[in-house]
């Protein structure tokens, strides 16, 4: 049942560029999609481990910069005549490097915060984001600082037998973002339904008990941080190659807040939550912009959020699922033992 | 000579100036049911916390299957098959009973990340085995009818059972239970005693902390009595109930009823 809904939604998203011709709206959908990927990665931490990453945009921004610099190349003086020179590589390499390096940063932040517990993670992530922003702003030789990295090339993919395809148009980028979003969704879904996901749930609900049945806190939470940061890095890379210009403003705190709003309104701990919340809060500004001044837009934005959380405190997806009597979305709850045993037999 | 599973050697625990445990020495042999009893505040839970790595002893050592547990984290100790339950009811409240047990099965389902994410055959097989095992454990503990209810919504006694099922899911070689029947009524307790025997018969060594004297007397092979952090007596139930120091300890705690109860059941 849930799978059918997921597939129908996917089919709908696939069809959009075929009937939506307005480039302005398509552009909004692409940037919203990129932020939804970021929100999904945030949800892995916030919704499935209970850890709030308030510097989540750092992983996104690092992905953007890594990918941009990989494809642009750089020449950075280190000491005296010693330079580090990097000749441009294909953007697709940058995309994968962005995932790896952002993931590694997730590892460092996770290792640092999860050996000590409590509110530590929130603080470490905020500080980390600020440090990274300052580096991007001040290491001008590498990042051009506030002058921004410009002319970032579009991602090119090689198609066997067909040569190369430069993903330059909105049409292309829409499908690129959709593909990455779908893969991320699938990956997170598999993860949270595996015993890794159960370990995360256990830690979130009752850490002492989880530890007593042999769940390794540091390892489990760090794993979640690595995967979350890696996916955020992928989103950042897509952003850099689509917008084709990035400056230290990508690290703006407000972007993290946007992702948190997407997750919380859609429903944290629900796989579809960030998608639903993301579509609403990603597209809301697009529809508000022509009809009201900026201040009123912000107020409306806030009112919509408050109304959603007031009517559906657990977020849209979990509340609707509960109303419709479905099993909790994204959770590991099974309809009944009988059902799970039947699936066991089906697999056999 | 019986094989020693757990030995507590000269363990002391100080909380600032308070001596919660002083020079504790005892051991548990393979296949035994040993009870650790004593008045409130005697240091029983503290002893459990030391054995399972939740607390570092001020002095002394805990050895499990011959290995020193010094410096080991709780999850590492659990990984060795030394599993505990908690005095205060402890479940994963927002998960179903069935999912609680599935989480408890963590130790058995270990897979590589790639296997889990890609759903490789080994991952499917393992998932299938775990689900079957979880269903079996839920049935075994007698909570089949409640399998799909949230653990947090269960009665107190049922939640204690979930706690035990969870611990069993973690595949203990040795199980430490902290007041498992507190909050259970007489018939629940009776069923539980049979359960404990069944667990032991399946090859699990058991150390029990319990205030319910009739239950302790009937189920234990040996009893260790703790008072003010010191072991004051140790032996089979018949010796313990006649031991003057034990009676004194409980009397000192104005628990005459307990002694009377012990005498009645003698
Ligand atoms: N973390 C702690 N910090 C300070 N004192 C503690 C701590 N834990 C336990 N104590 C003290 O150590 C003593 C032993 O406590 P413990 O919980 O081990 O007793 P117990 O035998 O389990 O009692 P009960 O039968 O009531 O459960 C008590 O005086 C208690 O107040
Ligand atoms: Mg206690």
Rounded distance from Cα A78 to ligand 1 centre (Å): 59
What digits encode the pLDDT tens for the residues B210-243? Answer: 999 999 999 999 999 999 999 999 999 999 988 8
Task: Give the residue, A156 or A64, on which the prediction is more confident.
Answer: A64
- How far separated are the first and last CA of chain B, in Å rounded? 29
Whether B158 is in a domain gets the answer: no
Which of B41, B88, B225, B253 has the most ligand 1 atoms within 8 A of CB, as the residue to mutate? B41
* Torsion A328-A329-A333-A336 (CA) sign: positive
Same domain for B180 and B84: yes
What digits encode the pLDDT tens for the residues B64-99? Answer: 998 999 999 999 999 999 999 999 889 999 999 999
A338 pLDDT more than 80? no
Ligand 1 atom closest to Cα of B38?
21
Per-window interface: A 216-275 vs B, CB < 8 A: 216-217, 223
Whether B161 is in a domain gets the answer: no
**CB-CB neighbors (< 8 A) of A341 in chain B:** 131-132, 135
Atom 19 in ligand 1: residue holding the nearest Cα: B41
Residue A254 CB-density burial (10 A; 0-12 exposed, 13-18 middle, 19+ buried): exposed
Whether B194 is in a domain gets the answer: yes
Rounded distance from Cα B45 to ligand 2 centre (Å): 4
- Answer for the pair A176, A238: CB distance below 8 angstroms, yes or no: yes
Ligand 1 atom closest to Cα of B16?
4
Same domain for B101 and B82: no
B170: closest CA among B95, B96, B77?
A: B77
Same domain for B195 and B136: no
CB spacing of A198 vs B106 below 8 angstroms = yes
Task: Give the residue, A341 or B150, on which the prediction is more confident.
Answer: B150
Ligand 1 atom closest to Cα of B46?
18
**Domain count of chain B?**
2
Question: What are the E-state strand segments in chain B?
Answer: 4-15, 18-29, 33-37, 59-64, 67-68, 82-84, 174-178, 205-209, 222-227, 230-235
Same domain for B186 and B232: yes
- Answer for the pair A299, A242: CB distance below 8 angstroms, yes or no: no
Confidence band, pLDDT 50/70/90 cuts, at residue B1 = low
> What is the widest separation between alpha-carbon atoms in chain B?
64
CB spacing of B95 vs A332 below 8 angstroms = yes
**CB-CB neighbors (< 8 A) of B74 in chain A:** 211-212
> For residue A288, what are the contacts with CB-CB under 8 A and spacing of at least 6?
A296, A297, A300, A301
What digits encode the pLDDT tens for the residues B178-216? Answer: 999 988 888 889 999 999 999 999 999 999 999 999 999
Atom 5 in ligand 1: residue holding the nearest Cα: B15
Minimum CA–CA partner of A185 in chain B? B117
Whether B77 is in a domain gets the answer: yes
Same domain for B74 and B131: no
Question: Which pTM was predicted?
Answer: 0.89
Same domain for B41 and B25: yes
> For residue A234, what are the contacts with CB-CB under 8 A and spacing of at least 6?
A37, A63, A95, A98, A99, A102, A180, A184
Minimum CA–CA partner of A192 in chain B? B117
| C-alpha distance from B84 to closest chain A C-alpha (Å) | 7
Same domain for B55 and B116: no
User: B85 is written with which tokens?
Assistant: 């339950």
Whether B108 is in a domain gets the answer: yes
Whose atoms come closest to the Cα of B22: which ligand?
1
A270 pLDDT more than 70? yes
**CB-CB neighbors (< 8 A) of B113 in chain A:** 196, 223
Same domain for B237 and B133: no
Same domain for B97 and B227: no
**CB-CB neighbors (< 8 A) of A348 in chain B:** 128
Residues with CB under 6 A from ligand 1: B 15, 18, 20, 38, 40-46, 87
- pLDDT score for A77: 83
A133: closest CA among A223, A65, A85, A191?
A: A65
- Answer for the pair B37, B15: CB distance below 8 angstroms, yes or no: no
**CB-CB neighbors (< 8 A) of B109 in chain A:** 195
For the CA atoms of A16, A19, A23, A25, what is the dihedral angle to 10 degrees?
Answer: -50
Q: Where along chain A do its domains lie?
A: 2-331
Same domain for B196 and B120: no
Whose atoms come closest to the Cα of B178: which ligand?
2
Which of B8, B11, B18, B52 has the most ligand 1 atoms within 8 A of CB, as the residue to mutate? B18
Q: How many residues does chain B have?
A: 266
Distance CA B42, CA B75 (A): 26
| C-alpha distance from B12 to closest chain A C-alpha (Å) | 22
Confidence band, pLDDT 50/70/90 cuts, at residue A340 = very low
What digits encode the pLDDT tens for the residues B19-35? Answer: 999 999 999 999 999 99
Helix-helix angle A170-193:A195-205, to 10 degrees: 70
Q: What percent of chain A has pLDDT over 90?
A: 68
A340 at B interface, C-beta within 8 A: yes
Ligand 1 atom closest to Cα of B43?
18
Same domain for B200 and B180: yes
CATH number, domain with residue B260: 3.40.50.300
What digits encode the pLDDT tens for the residues A222-254? Answer: 999 999 999 999 999 999 999 999 999 999 999
Other residues' Cβ atoms within 10 Å of the Cβ of residue B3: 10
Beta-carbon contacts below 8 Å between A and B: 127
Q: What percent of chain B has pLDDT over 90?
A: 74
Same domain for B191 and B69: yes
What secondary structure, in 3-state letters, does A182-234 show? HHHHHHHHHHHHCHHHHHHHHHHHCHHHHHHCCCCHHHHHHHHHHHHHHHHHH
Task: Give the residue, A264 or A326, on which the prediction is more confident.
Answer: A264
Whether B26 is in a domain gets the answer: yes
Q: Mark B102-119 as b/e (b = at least 16 C-beta within 10 Å).
A: bbbbbbebebeeebbbee
Radius of gyration in angstroms for the set of CA atoms belonging to chain B, rounded to a whole number = 19
Whether B160 is in a domain gets the answer: no
| C-alpha distance from A127 to closest chain B C-alpha (Å) | 29
Q: Mark A47-64 as b/e (b = at least 16 C-beta within 10 Å).
A: bbbbbbbbbbbbbbbbbb
CB spacing of B106 vs A206 below 8 angstroms = no
**CB-CB neighbors (< 8 A) of B99 in chain A:** 198, 201, 332-334
Write the residue in A208, A212, A340 that is nearest to B131 by C-beta. Answer: A340
Domain residue limits at B85: 4-89+171-264
């Amino acid at each position: 049942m849930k799978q059918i809904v997921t597939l129908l939604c996917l089919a709908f998203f696939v069809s959009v560029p075929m009937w939506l011709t307005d480039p302005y709206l398509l552009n909004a959908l692409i940037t919203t999609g990129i932020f939804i990927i970021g929100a999904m990665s945030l949800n892995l931490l916030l919704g499935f481990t209970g850890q709030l990453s308030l510097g989540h945009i750092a992983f996104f921004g690092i992905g953007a910069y890594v990918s941009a610099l990989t494809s642009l190349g750089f020449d950075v003086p280190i000491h005296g005549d010693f330079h580090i020179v990097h000749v441009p590589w294909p953007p697709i390499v940058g995309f994968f490097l962005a995932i790896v390096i952002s993931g590694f940063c997730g590892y460092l932040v996770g290792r640092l915060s999860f050996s000590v517990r409590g509110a530590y993670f929130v603080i470490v992530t905020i500080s980390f984001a600020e440090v990274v922003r300052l580096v991007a702003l001040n290491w001008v030789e590498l990042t051009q600082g506030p002058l921004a990295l410009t002319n970032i090339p579009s991602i090119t993919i090689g198609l066997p037998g067909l040569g190369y395809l430069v993903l330059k148009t909105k049409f292309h980028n829409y499908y690129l973002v959709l593909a990455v979003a779908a893969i991320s969704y699938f990956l997170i879904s598999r993860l949270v339904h595996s015993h890794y996901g159960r370990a995360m749930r256990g830690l979130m609900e009752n850490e002492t008990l989880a530890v007593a049945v042999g769940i390794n806190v540091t390892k489990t939470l760090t794993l979640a941080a690595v995967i979350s940061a890696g996916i955020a890095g992928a989103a950042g890379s897509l952003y850099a190659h689509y917008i084709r210009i990035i400056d230290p403003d990508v690290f703006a705190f407000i972007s993290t807040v946007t992702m948190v709003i997407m997750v919380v309104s859609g429903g944290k701990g629900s796989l579809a939550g960030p998608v639903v919340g993301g579509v609403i809060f990603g597209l809301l500004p697009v529809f508000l912009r022509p009809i009201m001044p900026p201040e009123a837009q912000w107020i409306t934005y806030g009112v919509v959020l408050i109304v959603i959380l007031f009517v559906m405190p657990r977020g849209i997806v979990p509340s609707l699922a509960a109303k419709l009597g479905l099993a909790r979305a994204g959770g590991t709850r099974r309809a009944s033992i009988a059902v799970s045993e039947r699936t066991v037999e089906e697999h056999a | 000579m019986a094989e020693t599973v757990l030995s507590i050697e000269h363990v002391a625990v100080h909380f600032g100036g308070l001596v919660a445990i002083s020079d504790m020495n005892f051991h548990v042999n393979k296949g035994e049911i040993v009870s650790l009893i004593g008045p409130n505040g005697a240091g029983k839970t503290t002893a459990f916390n030391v054995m399972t790595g939740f607390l570092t002893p001020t002095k002394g050592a805990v050895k499990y299957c011959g290995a020193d547990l010094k410096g080991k984290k709780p999850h590492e100790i659990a990984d060795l098959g030394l599993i505990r339950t908690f005095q205060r009811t402890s479940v994963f409240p927002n998960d179903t009973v069935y999912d609680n047990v599935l989480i408890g099965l963590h130790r058995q389902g270990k897979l590589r990340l790639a296997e889990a994410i890609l759903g490789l055959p080994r991952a499917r097989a393992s998932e299938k085995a775990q689900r079957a095992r979880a269903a079996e454990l839920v049935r075994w503990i007698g909570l089949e009818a409640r399998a799909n209810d949230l653990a947090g919504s269960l009665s107190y006694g049922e939640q204690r059972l979930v706690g035990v099922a969870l611990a069993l899911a973690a595949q203990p070689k040795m199980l430490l239970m902290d007041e498992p029947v507190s909050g259970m009524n007489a018939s629940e307790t009776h069923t539980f005693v049979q359960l404990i025997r069944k667990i032991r018969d399946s090859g699990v060594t058991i150390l029990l902390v319990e205030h319910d004297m009739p239950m302790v007397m009937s189920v234990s092979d040996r009893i260790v009595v703790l008072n003010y952090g010191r072991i004051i007596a140790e032996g089979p139930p018949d010796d313990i109930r006649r031991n003057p120091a034990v009676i004194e300890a409980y009397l000192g705690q104005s628990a005459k009823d307990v002694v009377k109860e012990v005498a009645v059941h003698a």
